[in-house]
A = this chain, B = another copy of it.
Amino acid sequence: MADVKSYSSRPVLTVNLTALAENYKYLAAKASPAKVGASVKADAYGLGAAVVGRALYGAGCRIFFVAHAGEGKILRTAIGSKASIYVLSGNTPQDTAIFFGSKLKPVINSLTQARDWVKACQPVKHAPRTALHFDTGINRLGIPKEEAEIFATDKTLLTDLDVDLVMSHLACSGEPNHPLNAIQLARFKKIAGRMPMVPLSLANTGAIYLGPEYHFKLVRTGIGLYGGKITDNPQDEQVKPVVELHAPVLQIKTVKAGETLGYNASFTAKNDMKIAIVSAGYADGLPVNLSGSDKRIVTSARLGKSRVDVIGRVSMDYTILDITDYDGFVELGAKAVFFGEDLENQAAHAHMINYEVMTHLGARCRKIYVNE
């Protein structure tokens, strides 16, 4: 328990950059000979896009994906001019200057975006290249079937767009047996066959495990980089946890049998108890649904080498732990640890998905990058 003497009340999010780089290399080996790009949208899933981007760049990544132009601008400043940064939302009117200023490549999702982009590029000497994103069945963002025909036949449009990537996105890659995977693969091959000879990309992290026919030239990884699991595939289990939430112990007190704890008095001490109040709550991404009540204990935190139950309601800033049976002395400032290898379980217990929990962790915590 390092740094206990000099603790702050502010919780800490540790981001293990060594594990991140190892996950990148692990996924790159699995996807080889395809290249591996990285999704660092939403501030790298909450972990900090600038530092995460630089770490992935250091691990060899040269192709990045963000959701919005503003995210791309921050990433560009962090990683320099040599990598490709694609903006998945595509070009939107208000963001054009950011695309040009930060050399961001729009992922073209529609004929409207294509024509807007071509028009915007007319006065520009060296406009960024673009990706074409075909919707092959997720029915979310992406060029729909009826517009695909125009892209396949309008050679002027294609020339003007200066396409360097043709992609699609799978809806069910985490479910290897879902019939939509093969359907999307077939549709993607069909449309890609009519496009210019540029690299193709279909797979996200989950699709790496669907087999090499899904890999094409570029795999776009996201959750796997950050240690999140999405499939029941044993290979997926080999990515290493990257993120832990460390909540400092602010106070230790005793509670008498029969007394209640926390908001709504939802937990009653059955015996005399010893409790630790730690400084992290739902504003730090610890879901209220992890609260312990008289009905049930939902989860626990790691404290030293032990696990201690979360009792009472998780509040905005603080959470209460049962240290009655804790074997040893708990110092003020000692850190209770959430997530890490427990991310999937704790997310499931909160009725959330691991991605969702992860994106909320960075909001208030001080981020400490390990092995930077």
Contact residues of A with B, CB < 8 Å? 5-10, 41-43, 45-46, 67-70, 87-90, 92-95, 109-110, 112, 135, 137-142, 144, 171-172, 174-175, 178, 180, 248, 250-251, 253-255, 259-265, 275, 277, 279, 282-283, 287-289, 312, 315-318, 320, 332-333, 351-353, 355-356, 359-360, 362-364
Q: What residue in chain B is nearest A259 (Cβ atoms)?
A: B139
Q: What residue in chain B is nearest A91 (Cβ atoms)?
A: B9
Besides A8-B93, A45-B316, A137-B259, 12 new A-B residue pairs in contact (Cβ under 8 A), listed by A number? A9-B95, A46-B363, A67-B279, A89-B317, A138-B263, A139-B260, A139-B261, A139-B312, A140-B315, A171-B264, A283-B359, A288-B353
Whether the Cβ atoms of A93 and B317 lie closer than 8 Å is no
What is the count of identical protomers in the complex?
2
B-chain residues with CB within 8 Å of residue A264 when the two chains form the complex: 171-172, 174-175
Task: Give chain B nearest CB distance to A126 CB in angstroms.
Answer: 23
Q: What residue in chain B is nearest A112 (Cβ atoms)?
A: B332
Looking at chain A's contact residues, the main secondary structure is loop
Whether the Cβ atoms of B355 and A316 lie closer than 8 Å is yes
Q: A144-B253, A364-B43 are in contact. Are A9 and B288 (CB under 8 A)?
A: no
B-chain residues with CB within 8 Å of residue A172 when the two chains form the complex: 263-265
